[in-house]
Amino acid sequence: MFIVHDYSLAVLFCVVTMFCWGSWGNTQKLASKTWRYEYFYWDYVLGVLLFSVISAFTLGSIGAEGQGFVENLAQADWCNLGSAFLGGIIFNASNILLSAAIAICGLSVAFPVGVGLALVLGVLVNYFGAAKGDPLFIFVGVALIVIAILLNSLAYRKALTANDKVSGKGLLVSVAAGIIMAFFYRFVAASMDLENFAEPAVGKLTPYTAVFVFALGVFASNFVFNTIAMKHPVEGEPAVISGYYKGSMGTHLVGILGGVIWCIGQSFSMIASEKAGAAISYGLGQGATLVSALWGILIWKEFRDAPKVSNYLNIGMFVFFVIGLGFLIYAGA
C-alpha cells in the first residue's frame, strides 16, 4: 500500500484535504437550484462509499510495503472495526446537520461556525487521544482560530441586522453540527496504529481499511439520520422518498461527486496522520473553513447585501485563521 514517509508530504496531503473538505459544499449549492439537500445527501453518501472502495483496492493494495486492504481487513479485530464504524455514524450525524446549515445560511457561515468549532474541539480531542506535536503552538493556533470563528459569527449577525428575512437558526444548526463533528475523527484514528502503518499492531487497521469501514458507518446510518431529516426538516415541508427518483442523472452525479471529493480529503488526512499526528492532520484538514468561506463570499456572493462592517470582520477572520493554521503546521515540524 502507499505510505507517506515525509512530514512535508504529509502537510501537502493535509492541504489537499483542506481543499476537498472546503469544496464539496459547492456541489450541494449547485444541486440546491432544483434539489432539496435531503435528496442530495443520499447521493453524497454513495459518493463517500464509492471512493472508499476505489481507494482500498488501488492505493490500499498496491506495492510491497505494508498490508494490502483485503489482508488487513481479514486480521482486524471487532473493537477496531467498531471504532471506525462508530466514527462514520458520528460524522454522518454531524454532516447532515452541516448540510442543513448550508441550505439555511450558506457556505460562508455554516463552515466557519460549524467546521471551525469542530476544528477547535477536534484538535483538542485528537491531541489528548494521541499526543503529537508541540502543545504550545497547537493551543495558540487553536486560540487564534477561535477568534476567527467569533469574527465570522459577528459578521453574520451584522448581516442579519441588515436583512431581517434571514433566520438565526442557521447559526444554531451550525454549532450543533460542529460539536458533534469534533469527535468522529478520534474514533477512526483510534482504530489504526498511528505509530507504524507499514507493520500495524495485530488487529489494527491501515488508513485505507479504516476509511472503508468508516464509509460503511456513514452509509448505514444514513437510513436513520436522513429519514429523520426528511420527515422533520429544519425548513420547509417534509420530503417524501419518491421525490428522490425524480432527479435527473446529472443532479444525482453532482451529489455523488460531492461525496467523492469529501472522501478524497478524508483518505488523504488518514494517510498523513502517521507522520503529522492525528491532531495536526485533522486541524489542517479542517482549515477547509477558509476554502469554503472564500467560495461562499467570492463565488456565491452570500454577503452581497451585508453592511461594510461584515466585510471587515470577514477579512479579520481570514487573517486569524491563516495565522492559526500556520501555528498548527509549525507545531508538527
Q: What are the pLDDT digits (tens) for 139-189?
A: 898 889 889 888 877 887 787 765 545 457 888 899 999 999 999 999 999
> Residues 6 or more apart from 215 whose CB is under 8 A from it?
48, 49, 51, 52, 53, 88, 263
- How far CA 82 is from CA of 73, 77, 86, 188, in Å, comes to 12, 9, 6, 9
Q: Is the pLDDT of residue 318 over 60?
A: yes
Of 178, 28, 29, residue with least CA distance to 90? 178
83 close to 187: Cβ distance less than 8 angstroms:
yes
Query: What is the predicted pLDDT for the residue at 315?
Result: 93
Check residue 234 and report its DSSP letter. S
Query: What is the predicted pLDDT for the residue at 116?
Result: 82
Q: Tell me if 295 is assigned to some domain.
A: yes
Query: What is the predicted pLDDT for the residue at 76?
Result: 97
Q: Tell me if 1 is assigned to some domain.
A: no
- Measure the CA–CA gap between 101 and 171, rounded to whole angstroms: 7
Q: Calculate the average pLDDT of the chain.
A: 91
Confidence of residue 103 (pLDDT cuts 50, 70, 90): confident
Q: Count the domains in the chain.
A: 1
126 close to 279: Cβ distance less than 8 angstroms:
yes
Q: Tell me if 162 is assigned to some domain.
A: yes
Q: Tell me if 117 is assigned to some domain.
A: yes
* Cell numbers for 251: 443532479
Q: Tell me if 151 is assigned to some domain.
A: yes
Tens-place pLDDT, residues 53-69: 999 999 999 988 999 99
> Residues 6 or more apart from 8 whose CB is under 8 A from it?
none
Query: What is the predicted pLDDT for the residue at 305?
Result: 81
Length of the chain: 333
Query: What is the predicted pLDDT for the residue at 167?
Result: 53
- Output the CA angle 211-216-217, nearest 5 degrees: 95
Listed ranges 106-115, 162-171, 199-208, 319-328; the one with the highest mean pLDDT: 199-208
Of 115, 10, 2, residue with least CA distance to 331? 10
> Residues 6 or more apart from 271 whose CB is under 8 A from it?
2, 3, 4, 13, 59, 207
Q: Is the pLDDT of residue 253 over 90?
A: yes
Q: What is the mean pLDDT of residues 221-237?
A: 93
Q: What is the pTM of this model?
A: 0.90
Q: Tell me if 2 is assigned to some domain.
A: no
Classify residue 82 as exposed, middle or buried by CB count within 10 Å of its CB (0-12, 13-18, 19+). Answer: middle
Query: What is the predicted pLDDT for the residue at 217?
Result: 98
Helix (H) or strand (E) holding 228: helix 207-231
Domain residue limits at 74? 7-332
- How far CA 81 is from CA of 122, 136, 205, 217, 241, in Å, comes to 21, 33, 8, 10, 31
Q: What is the mean pLDDT of residues 123-143?
A: 88
Radius of gyration of the chain (CA): 19
Query: What is the predicted pLDDT for the residue at 161?
Result: 60
Q: What is the mean pLDDT of residues 107-128?
A: 85
Confidence of residue 236 (pLDDT cuts 50, 70, 90): confident
Q: Tell me if 278 is assigned to some domain.
A: yes
Q: Tell me if 212 is assigned to some domain.
A: yes
Classify residue 30 as exposed, middle or buried by CB count within 10 Å of its CB (0-12, 13-18, 19+). Answer: middle
